[in-house]
Amino acid sequence: MVAKKVLEFSCETPEYAGSEMAIYAVKGNLYGSSEAYRFQDDVRQKIAAGTKKIVINFAEAEKIDSCGIGILASVMWSTSQAGGGMILVSVPEQVEKLLAMVMLTDRIDRADSCEEAIAKLAAL
């Protein structure tokens, strides 16, 4: 039996962006776990505190399940309600496939790098 890799995440705020932007890096699996919901709560707290632009870097992520898709949809909705946006970076093929299955590929923006995502969000 293969052990599921527990989600780990970190957050940084670029100095030039003030509190308006947060860049999250996720590592492991974004499954329905206590860590995944802690991630969602952390993002929601940032948005409630005034952060409107969220970048989520999947460069070290591996897999996602339906709960993870729900978390991404929730963050997308929260940022749009705050007048901002969310961009996913370095999205693995498995995540792309799930986003397509639930018809979110046109609703969730993606970028190849954090720099590209930051540039896209700067226009908001």
Confidence of residue 5 (pLDDT cuts 50, 70, 90): confident
Phi and psi at 14, nearest 5°, equal -60, 135
Q: The tokens of 14 are what?
A: 């670029």
The pTM (predicted TM-score) of the whole model is 0.93
Residue pair 122/89 in contact (Cβ under 8 Å)? The answer is no
Confidence of residue 3 (pLDDT cuts 50, 70, 90): low
* Fold classification of 8-122 (topology level): Transcription Regulator spoIIAA (3.30.750)
Q: The tokens of 80 are what?
A: 């749009």
Confidence of residue 6 (pLDDT cuts 50, 70, 90): confident
The mean pLDDT value of the chain amounts to: 92
What are the structural domain ranges in the chain?
A: 8-122
Q: What is the pLDDT of residues 9-64, one digit of tens each?
A: 999 998 877 789 999 999 999 999 999 999 999 999 999 999 999 999 999 998 89
Say what the pLDDT of residue 124 is. Answer: 83
Distance from chain centroid for Cα 4: 20
Sheet with 109-111, edge to edge strand ranges: 8-12, 21-30, 53-64, 85-89, 109-111
